[in-house]
Amino acid sequence: MIHRTLLITAVLVVCLPMPTAGAVVGGVAVVDRASAPWAVSIDAEGLCSGTLIDPWRVVTAAHCVADVDETLRPDQVTVGAGVVDVGSPGQEVRPVRAIVVHPSHKPTRDRIDRYDVAVLVLAVPFPVIPGRIAPIPVGAPQDLRSDPLELFGWGDVAHRTAPVPLRLHTLTAVPTRTVRCEEGLPSLACLISKDSSGCDGDSGAGVVRRTASGPVLVAVYNFAYLRCDRGKPQGVTNVSEPGLARWIANPNDVALAPSILRRPQVNAQSSTTLVCSGARIRGATSTETAWVQYRTGRTLRTGASRRFTPTPRLRREAIDCIITASNDAGTVQASAISTYRF
């Protein structure tokens, strides 16, 4: 059994880690999924939290999937997105194709690990659904030194309550300095929240800063104090530190199929021509656009051009624009429907 959160007890300034299970004590229940569409739940023979950084990849804590006694296989892990309550209607669930633990992570039960981070590569990408599922970029090093920061995680709202309330919660915290965190700089950092704490189910949860250009991921939640005490320092891995950020961008060179970051839209360029535009696709070595009659499924044209002029007979039909993006690792598709009536 993999331990899901490190809870530590303080003796003076020395922190002795004691593995146990991670959620937000004293936090606020999330009602609107749009406030954190990047937050995902992880079923890894126990509950963990994570952050979607692109449609194919999730960042979480290494101790969610690797312990002293075992490292989980990909088929033992699934990831859920799109809802605030785990298992509720509308949840999208994806299997995991690869688990990549940071090479410097050393799972032990007697110390805190400054490289407690892992990347889960999904077998099937999540769709990008505005307001429900959307990735978040990794921030810059200075973002962790700024406050306030927000944590989003699932799990316990009090230490070792049963059953665990599987509702996404959030807390606000600010960076703090402790002897143990200073020893782990720059990759280990500590946060403090006066009225809240992470707890059982929050391991791997994303710590986010909202910038002028949008939210960014700055850290991954690792440990809380014994009994999830409020007002105590909480350990996080600083994923915005340049070395970790570079590793997260391409851990062990795991081959990834293209990612659809934004789906296309169909607009009328003129009174007779449709344009399929606005798509954002990462990692494709080739793309092809197909125009398909929605009612019959008949392909009208394929090729590189994203412009299409329907014949007069088709001008009152709904027409699909389907972009197929490929590379050596796989193929994905993104589509949009035209409802223009010329």
Q: What is the CATH number of the domain that holds 138?
A: 2.40.10.10
What burial letters (b/e) apply to 217-234, b meaning 16+ CB within 10 Å?
A: bbbbbbbbbeebbbebbb
pLDDT, average across residues 264-268: 87
DSSP symbol at 166: -
- Residues 264 and 239 reside in one and the same domain: no
H or E element in which residue 211 lies: strand 206-211
pLDDT band at 22 (very low <50, low <70, confident <90, very high): very low
Q: What distance in Å separates the CA atoms of residue 41 and residue 79, rounded to the nearest whole number? A: 6
Q: What percentage of the chain reaches a pLDDT higher than 70?
A: 76
pLDDT digits (tens, 9 = 90+) for 284-324: 889 999 998 888 888 999 999 999 998 888 877 888 899 99
- Residues 87 and 186 reside in one and the same domain: yes
- Residues 329 and 234 reside in one and the same domain: no
pLDDT band at 20 (very low <50, low <70, confident <90, very high): very low
Q: What distance in Å separates the CA atoms of residue 273 and residue 308, rounded to the nearest whole number? A: 6
- Residues 186 and 100 reside in one and the same domain: yes
- Residues 147 and 187 reside in one and the same domain: yes
Compute CA 187 distance to the chain's CA centroid, rounded to the nearest angstrom.
19
Q: What distance in Å separates the CA atoms of residue 50 and residue 34, rounded to the nearest whole number? A: 16
Indicate the residue among 220, 253, 286 that finishes a domain: 253
- Residues 35 and 172 reside in one and the same domain: yes
Indicate the residue among 253, 275, 300 that finishes a domain: 253
- Residues 183 and 67 reside in one and the same domain: yes
Higher-pLDDT residue of 51 and 212 is 51
pLDDT digits (tens, 9 = 90+) for 76-100: 999 999 998 888 999 999 999 999 9
pLDDT value for 53: 95
- Start-to-end CA span in the chain (Å): 62
What are φ and ψ of residue 124, in 5° steps? -135, 130
Whether residue 278 is predicted with pLDDT greater than 70 in this model: the reply is yes
pLDDT band at 25 (very low <50, low <70, confident <90, very high): low
- Residues 55 and 136 reside in one and the same domain: yes
Q: Which residues contact 123 (CB under 8 A, 6 or more apart)?
A: 74, 94, 95, 96, 97
- Residues 139 and 39 reside in one and the same domain: yes
H or E element in which residue 99 lies: strand 92-101
Indicate the residue among 230, 253, 276 that finishes a domain: 253
Q: Which residues contact 214 (CB under 8 A, 6 or more apart)?
A: 136, 137
- Residues 272 and 304 reside in one and the same domain: yes
- Residues 10 and 107 reside in one and the same domain: yes
Angle, vertex CA 199, rays to CA 43 and CA 163, nearest 5: 60
Domain count for the chain: 2
Higher-pLDDT residue of 225 and 53 is 53
Q: Which of 327, 326, 285, 261 is nearest to 54 (CA)?
A: 261
Q: Which of 207, 204, 203, 205 is nearest to 192 (CA)?
A: 207
Residue span of the structural domain in which 317 resides: 259-338
- Residues 148 and 289 reside in one and the same domain: no
Q: Which of 280, 278, 273 is nearest to 319 (CA)?
A: 273
Q: What distance in Å separates the CA atoms of residue 194 and residue 172, rounded to the nearest whole number? A: 9
Q: What is the CATH number of the domain that holds 264?
A: 2.60.40.10
